Amino acid sequence: MAVIEKQQSEKAMALEARYGAHNYHPLPVVLSKGEGVYVWDVDGRKYYDFLSAYSAVNQGHCHPKIIGALTRQAQELTLTSRAFYNDKLGEYEKFLCGYFAYDKVLPMNTGAEAVETAIKLARKWGYEKKGIQEGKAKVIVCLNNFHGRTITIISASNDPVATENFGPFTPGIVPIPYNDLEALEAAMGSDVAAFLVEPIQGEAGVNVPDADYMKRAHEICKAHNVLLMADEVQTGIARTGRLLASCGNCACPEKNCSGTPEVKPDVLILGKAISGGVLPVSAVLADDRIMEVIRPGNHGSTFGGNPLACAVATAALQVVAEERLAEKADELGRLFREKMQEIVETSDLVRLVRGKGLLNAIVIDDSEDSSTAWDICLALKENGLLAKPTHGNIIRFAPPLVMTREQLLDCVGIIRKTLREFQKA
């Protein structure tokens, strides 16, 4: 039986290798089922999911409320395109604007599409509202960012793997160091339309900026009539212990609120967990003074705002509020970092732990070009926990937010056991 099961896994991986472009390097596990915080492979082995599809599955795998919304709507109407009105989009847009406290939303599908949409919106606003000379608008970005992989977005990247042999690149992108307010101030000018930034750099290794970074960056932007555009595709939807990571350390008693946060980005970019990982949904939100520059024919998508996506995203966001997932992420994240810090203090393998909410990472005491972090992730897999390295020597830990305290402590035990075994080997 074990031989047959191994053959199933090998066959699935071989098919991808033979017929799929080699644009990913997956962990060697073939998943076939998911529920809550768990996934199962084709051999029936059960694992804790500590990646959550890069924070797309914050509500857990196959949440019954979200799947229920999906199946009901799929039996009624899935797509009309925007050539016609449908009975779901308007209600969804109203719900979304109320949930995040913005005037308007432009619905799209993927996170990369949402970032592209935001850049287009910022440029058009810059020309029509700020008075930037046509063709001269600039967007400031941060080094080591990850906003997606389209041509314009990788034009903002300094990752050679993402950029090599893909030029020429889109002009008008100004890179500055992350978490550097002096650099931001120096980059400002009359031709700058926007500052595009991740409140926490997830793909770069969960780089958490100074507590007042977003607040002070917003103040600088306002002083220069520049839009602050927050890419919350990975950090949003309760992942970091607040509904939005942009809120920073705001004192709002409701962590999953739509009240008056300390920082309200001029443009909010959402994706991933806005649909609970069920299908691609993304959104760009802004107030009327910005969004009104978009007129018929300027931007769109056949699938953007489709009825199925509207039903699924509404249910997914209701789950976040009803199950108080932001508050849960805050509490469990503190516990996780406390336990990881204990490991740091007793292990020669782990240099430090960092993060916010349930978006965390450990830095392995080895070089970026070493295989140590990858090998540790392989060992974690064998012990029943799935995670992936990023930037060579960093392991990101981001479980579904529906995780219980008991499950989290069980996972801490797996990580501790794995590191201990690895260190002895």
DSSP per position, 30-46 = -EEEEEBTEEEETT--E
The better pLDDT of the pair 1, 109 is held by 109
- For residue 392, name the pLDDT band (cuts at 50, 70, 90): confident
Answer with the one of 299, 322, 345 that is the final residue of a domain: 322
Q: How many CB atoms lie within 10 A of CB 219?
A: 13
Cα separation, 81 vs 110, in Å, equals 16
* 270/405 same-domain check: no
Q: Can you give the pLDDT at residue 1?
A: 43
Answer with the one of 322, 353, 371 that is the final residue of a domain: 322
* 89/39 same-domain check: no
* 217/194 same-domain check: yes
278 pLDDT exceeds 50? yes
* 171/284 same-domain check: yes
Cα separation, 313 vs 95, in Å, equals 10
Cα separation, 389 vs 395, in Å, equals 4
Q: Which member of 231, 255, 336, 356 is catalytic?
A: 231
Residues near 58 by beta carbon (within 8 Å), at least 6 away in sequence: 52, 237, 238, 239, 272, 273, 276, 277, 320, 325, 400, 401
* 141/233 same-domain check: yes
Q: Can you give the pLDDT at residue 367?
A: 87
* 113/178 same-domain check: yes
CA-based nearest residue to 171, from 126, 128, 138, 124: 138
Q: Can you give the pLDDT at residue 72?
A: 98
Write the pLDDT tens digit of every residue in 61-109: 999 999 999 999 999 999 999 999 999 999 999 999 999 999 999 999 9
Report the chain's mean pLDDT, rounded to a whole number: 94
Told to judge if 272 belongs to the known catalytic residues of this protein, a careful annotator would answer yes
What is the dihedral sign for C-alpha 194, 200, 206, 211? Answer: positive
207 pLDDT exceeds 70? yes
- For residue 178, name the pLDDT band (cuts at 50, 70, 90): very high
Told to judge if 231 belongs to the known catalytic residues of this protein, a careful annotator would answer yes
* 115/220 same-domain check: yes
Write the pLDDT tens digit of every residue in 315-325: 999 999 999 99
Q: Can you give the pLDDT at residue 5?
A: 58
* 160/208 same-domain check: yes
254 pLDDT exceeds 70? no
Q: Can you give the pLDDT at residue 253?
A: 44
* 316/355 same-domain check: no
Q: How many residues does the chain have?
A: 425
Mean of pLDDT values over 213-230 = 97
CATH number of domain containing 370? 3.90.1150.10
Q: Which member of 50, 100, 146, 303 is catalytic?
A: 146
Q: How far apart are the first and last CA of the chain?
A: 30
Number of structural domains found in the chain? 2
Q: Is 59 exposed, middle or buried (0-12, 13-18, 19+ CB in 10 A)?
A: buried
Told to judge if 49 belongs to the known catalytic residues of this protein, a careful annotator would answer no
CATH number of domain containing 164? 3.40.640.10
Q: Can you give the pLDDT at residue 372?
A: 94
Q: Are 273 and 56 in contact (CB under 8 A)?
A: yes
* 108/247 same-domain check: yes
Mean of pLDDT values over 104-116 = 98
Q: Which member of 88, 130, 138, 272 is catalytic?
A: 272
250 pLDDT exceeds 80? no
* 304/358 same-domain check: no
Q: Which domain holds residue 398?
A: 2-59+325-424
Q: Can you give the pLDDT at residue 423?
A: 82
* 284/412 same-domain check: no
Answer with the one of 263, 289, 322 that is the final residue of a domain: 322
Write the pLDDT tens digit of every residue in 341-373: 999 999 889 999 999 999 999 999 998 889 999
Residue percentage of the chain with pLDDT more than 70: 95
